[in-house]
Amino acid sequence: MKVTEHIGNAKGETLFSFEIIPPVKGHNIQELYDNIDPLMEFNPPFIDVTTSREEYVYIDRDGLLDKKLTRMRPGTVGICASIKHKYNVDTIPHVLCGGFTKEETEYLLIDCHYLGIQNVMALRGDAMKEEKYFEPTSGGHAYASDLVQQIHKLNCGEYLHEVVERDHCADFCIGVAGYPEKHMEAPSLQTDLKRLKQKVDEGAHYVVTQMFFDNKKYFEFVDAARAAGITVPIIPGIKPVAVKRHLQLLPQVFRIDLPQELIDAVEACKNNKQVRQVGIEWAIEQSRELKQAGVPVLHYYSMGKSDNIKAIAEAVF
Active-site positions read 19
Strands 46-49 and 55-61: unpaired
Residue 126 sits in the site that holds ligand FAD (CB under 6 A): yes
Cβ proximity of 141 and 150 under 8 Å: yes
Residue 145 sits in the site that holds ligand FAD (CB under 6 A): yes
- To ligand FAD, the closest distance from the beta carbon of 144 in angstroms equals 3
Nearer to ligand FAD, 163 or 253 (CB): 253
Stretch that binds ligand FAD, among 34-42, 47-55, 62-70, 83-91 (CB under 6 A): 47-55
Residues in binding contact with ligand FAD, number by CB under 6 A: 23
Among 87, 143, 219, 317, interactor with ligand FAD by CB under 6 A: 143
Region 167-206 residues binding ligand FAD, contact defined as CB under 6 A: 177, 183, 185-186, 192, 195, 199
Give Cα 123 distance to the centre of its chain: 8
Nearer to ligand FAD, 106 or 192 (CB): 192
Stretch that binds ligand FAD, among 30-38, 83-91, 137-145, 290-298 (CB under 6 A): 137-145
Q: Which residues of 30-41 are buried (b: 16+ CB within 10 A; e: fewer)?
A: eebeebbeebee
The 229-268 contact track toward ligand FAD, x by CB under 6 A, reads --------x-------------------------------
Residue 51 sits in the site that holds ligand FAD (CB under 6 A): yes
Among 39, 112, 144, 204, interactor with ligand FAD by CB under 6 A: 144
- To ligand FAD, the closest distance from the beta carbon of 203 in angstroms equals 13
Query: Which residues of this protein are in contact with ligand FAD, per CB under 6 A?
Result: 50-53, 94, 96, 123-126, 143-145, 177, 183, 185-186, 192, 195, 199, 208, 210, 237
